[in-house]
Amino acid sequence: MWTLIAGAFMGWGLGSNDAANLFGPAVGSRALRFWTAASLASLFVVIGAVLMGSRGFATYGAIGTQTLISSFTVMLAAGITVTMMTLFGLPVSSTQATVGAIIGGSLLNASGVNLQPLVKIFVSWILTPIGGMIATYIPYKIVTLYPHTLMGRFASHDRFVRLGLVLVTCYGAYSLGANNVANVTGVYVKSGLLSPPSAALFGSLAIALGIMTFSKRVIRTVGSGLVPLDPFAAFVVVLGEAITLNIYALIGVPVSASQAVVGAVVGIGLVKGVKTINSRVLVRVLFGWLGTPTIAFALSVAFGLLARAIM
């Protein structure tokens, strides 16, 4: 059971980083207070993981064989990578960290890496930010062009928008738990240490702990650093992210909540004007996306070789 320590660490890191994707826009636009949003997010992450999270376990399990030792080294590598990026204030992809670490660990096993599920995962990495961008650009553009429509009238009522933000924050947390809990405990299901229900519960509680204890730094980047957001823009961003994550959860492909929300925020920026997008912050985010799987892969290989030498 000691191997679960690395999974708990990864879950904490995921919650610390991906919390910004859930309520960073709401907190950044001052529609919700931090502790209100964090409490709601923690609750619904657990609900989403328990009710729907098991679908992603099979996808990760298909990449390669896992043992108790490899599951520990893989999650340790992924957890260190995500936590390191969190310290830099970058909303990185926990999915990319997990996949990079799993590939590194699987290369050391005799069975090697199964490329078939990786194709589906890699394609989702491209489509996720694009989907998030489209999901926000269209409704925000409609409100900008036609403010007297039903959606436009909704956007003009601050009380309705704030209520909507509460609802979509809960929905976004539910979708995050459903989609991303496999990043935390998928390898333990493959190794036989945990059953899917227990893996979903354990992983989601670790994510919730990360949300409550160490998420404020990344919130500044997503909430207001990339593009200034008004409350309605924040509502559209979180809704677009939640829908994107929920669709992939139904398919059984864990995707990046960070990619979805950054794509969504950029969609708002395109409506407001390209000049409103902070290019320096965007470059830092893109660097995090490129560096995350690479660093996780390298750490996983290093830890795996070290484990072999010790054992």
Neighbour-count burial for 118-134, b at 16+ CB within 10 Å, e otherwise: beebeebbeebbebbbe
Name residues whose C-beta falls within 8 Å of residue 286's C-beta, 6 or more positions apart in sequence: none
- pLDDT tens digits, residue range 269-290? 888 887 777 777 777 777 777 8
Which residue, among 60, 94, 120, 117, has the nearest Cα to 259 in the 3D structure? 94
- In this model, does residue 85 exceed pLDDT 90? no
Q: 52 vs 214, which has greater pLDDT?
A: 52
Look up the pTM and report it: 0.88
Q: Are 86 and 16 in contact (CB under 8 A)?
A: yes
Q: Which of the four pLDDT bands, split at 50, 70 and 90, describes residue 149?
A: confident
pLDDT value at position 221? 57
Average of per-residue pLDDT across 68-84: 92
Cβ neighbours around 145 below 10 Å, total: 10
The torsion region of residue 252 among left (phi > 0), alpha (psi -120 to 50) and beta comes to left
Q: Which of the four pLDDT bands, split at 50, 70 and 90, describes residue 220?
A: low
- In this model, does residue 222 exceed pLDDT 60? no
- In the chain, what percentage of residues exceed pLDDT 70? 94
Average of per-residue pLDDT across 82-90: 79
- H or E, element range at 67: none
Q: Are 296 and 78 in contact (CB under 8 A)?
A: yes
Q: Which of the four pLDDT bands, split at 50, 70 and 90, describes residue 49?
A: very high
Q: 31 vs 124, which has greater pLDDT?
A: 124
